Amino acid sequence: MSASSPAPSPSSSVATASPSGSITGNRLLQFAGRLAALAAVYLFFAFLTPEGKGFTSDANTQLMLQDIAVVAMAAIGMTIIIISGGIDLAAGSIIALAMITTAWVLNLDHNGVKLVTTHPQLLSLAAIAAAVLVASTVGLINGMLVTGLRLVPFIVTLGTMQMARGLAKMVSNEQNIYPPSVVQDLWISRVLDPARTLHTFPFLPPAVWLVIVAATLAALFLRYTRLGRHIFAVGSNEKTAILCGVPVVRTKIAVYVIGGFFAGLAGVIFFARLGSIGQPTEAIGFELFVIAAAVIGGASLLGGRGTILGTMIGALIITILRNGGVKMGWPQYVQEMVMGAVIIIAVAIDNLRNRRRT
């Protein structure tokens, strides 16, 4: 063999054409598996809940949609964090902090006059901006601690979970914040209002539409941007990412800021869900549902793997389980045990499938 290039193999070019379908096919199969699991969970409750409880009624579906909006919104950010190889245990506290911030801004007064009564639109926008900003800042702190101190994300966010919760309690003086009643009629409180019916336009509450739009954007972001591909690379093998000149520190910080941002939006929705009240002790342990949604959706806690679409299905499964358990009249402890079992089974099935493939 001299200076000439190695003979191009004609077979390899042929081989590249057909089986690429099998890889997409595999992904389709996984997606179908998740959809089937979702359908199974739904049908289980649809058939087994007592007739009068109305699991399948429109009213209950509206209720579930409201719950889904909060979990799913936060889970978008969590999925991105998990794909990067991280975790955010502070998500529940960030949601609470964002919710308190929203209530606090809407409760601002000037010379004894509640500002929201004079400037309702401005205050609503300011409340959302403040909530999202505070939440993103907690994310920024998470990211800087993880990269700056080189600490494990689990430990860092375990710490900031407590700190964000403490901050929420500090801001609210450890009491519920009740903004003036005019807030009840503002759009910020009505984002979860049921659509007139589920069968005519716009079918779903505004917040659910917002989740759908956000999820679509996040999925496109992960797939079609440089930062998105870098997030996968960092999660799959950080050393390779460093070797290839990926700005790993910046990527990780961005990931936690994004996570905080979505938890902040979830907090604003949660404010509406609670009936326009800021409750500093709400959403405790909520991060576990959010993580579970991502994991049931196929995200790997080792990083490098996960999809927004899968997570959305995970969020649906989690919410249906929580709602269905109540409708079945199961005691709290049974609900908790069922939830735990479902998480383990879902991940075990995923694991088995992956092992068989390799």
Partner 1 sequence: MTASRSPAVATAPLLTLRGVRKSFGATQALKGVNLDLVPGQVHALIGENGAGKSTLMKVLSGAHAADAGEMTLEGRPYRPEGPLHARSLGVCMIYQELALAGHLSVMENILLGIEPTRGPLLNWREMGAVSRRALDEVGLERIDPAALVEDLSLAEQQLIEIARAVAFGCKVLVLDEPTSSLTQKDVRNLFALVNRLKAKGVAVVYISHALEEVEELCQAFTVMRDGETVGHGVVGEVPVSKIIAMMVGRDVSDLYPRSIRTAGEPIVELTALAGAKFPRNASLTLHRGEVVGIAGLIGAGRTETLRALFGLDAVTGGTIRIHGQPTAPAGPGVRWSQGIGLVSEDRKTEGLAQNLSIAENLTLSKLEGLGPWRFVRPSRQRAAAEPWIKAFPIKCQSGDQPIEALSGGNQQKVAIARLLHHDCDVLLLDEPTRGIDVGSKAQIYAWIDKLALGDPATGKPPKAVLVVSSYLPELLGICDRIAVMSRGTLGEAKPVADWSEHSLMLAAVGQS
Size of the site for partner 1 (CB under 8 A): 42
- Residue 117 or 225 having the CB closest to partner 1: 225
C-beta of 245 vs 331, nearer to partner 1: 245
Contact 246, 226 (CB under 8 A): no
Complex with partner 1: residue 240 or 281, whichever CB lies closer: 240
For the bound state, the minimum distance from the C-beta of residue 36 to partner 1, rounded and expressed in Å, comes to 24
52 touches partner 1 (CB under 8 A): no
The CA distance from 21 to 214, in Å, is: 29
Per the structure block, which two tokens stand in for 229?
């591909």
Comparing CB distances to partner 1, the nearer of 4 and 173 is: 4
Tell which residue, 192, 205, 222, 284, has the closest CA to residue 77. Answer: 222
Q: What are phi and psi of 265, to 5 degrees?
A: -60, -40
3-class DSSP assignment, residue 20: helix
φ, ψ of residue 305 in degrees (nearest 5): -145, 135
Query: Which of 9, 173 has the CB closer to partner 1?
Result: 9
Contacts 24+ apart (CB under 8 A), 53-59: 53/327, 53/328, 53/329, 54/327, 55/323, 55/324, 55/327, 58/197, 58/198
Here's the x/- map for partner 1, 275-314, by CB under 8 A: it reads as -----------------------------xx---------
**What is the dihedral sign for C-alpha 80, 277, 282, 197?**
negative
- Does 20 help bind partner 1 (rule: CB under 8 A)? yes
Query: CA nearest 219: which of 80, 86, 350, 82?
Result: 80
Q: Is 283 helix (H, G, I), strand (E, B) or coil?
A: coil
Instruction: State which residue, 59 or 243, has the beta carbon closest to partner 1.
Output: 243
Q: How many CA atoms lie within 13 A of 98 on its CB side?
A: 33
Q: Is 132 exposed, middle or buried (0-12, 13-18, 19+ CB in 10 A)?
A: buried
H-only helix segments in 49-175 = 58-83, 91-106, 115-118, 120-148, 153-171
Please report, as residue ranges, which positions from 238 to 277 form the binding site for partner 1 (by CB under 8 A): 239-247
Residue list 24-43, contact with partner 1 (CB under 8 A): 24
Under rule CB under 8 A, residue 150 binds partner 1:
no
For the four alpha carbons of 258, 263, 267 and 268, in that order, the dihedral sign comes to: positive
Binding of partner 1 by 356 (CB under 8 A)? no
CB of 213 to partner 1, least distance (A): 19
CB of residue 34 to partner 1, shortest distance in Å: 19
**Nearer to partner 1 by C-beta: 124 or 300?**
300
Q: Of 1-9, 109-117, 131-139, 140-148, which segment contacts partner 1 by CB under 8 A?
A: 1-9
* Residue 352 lies near partner 1 (rule: CB under 8 A): no
Angle CA 308–138–305, to nearest 5: 25
Q: Is 332 in the site for partner 1 (CB under 8 A)?
A: no
Binding mask 200-239 for partner 1 (x = CB under 8 A): -----------------------xxxxxxxx-xx--xx-x
Q: Which stretch binds partner 1 (CB under 8 A): 16-24, 35-43, 132-140, 336-344?
A: 16-24
Shortest separation between residue 303's beta carbon and partner 1, angstroms: 9
Residues that bind partner 1 (CB under 8 A): 1-6, 8-9, 12-13, 15-17, 19-20, 22-24, 223-230, 232-233, 236-237, 239-247, 304-305, 358
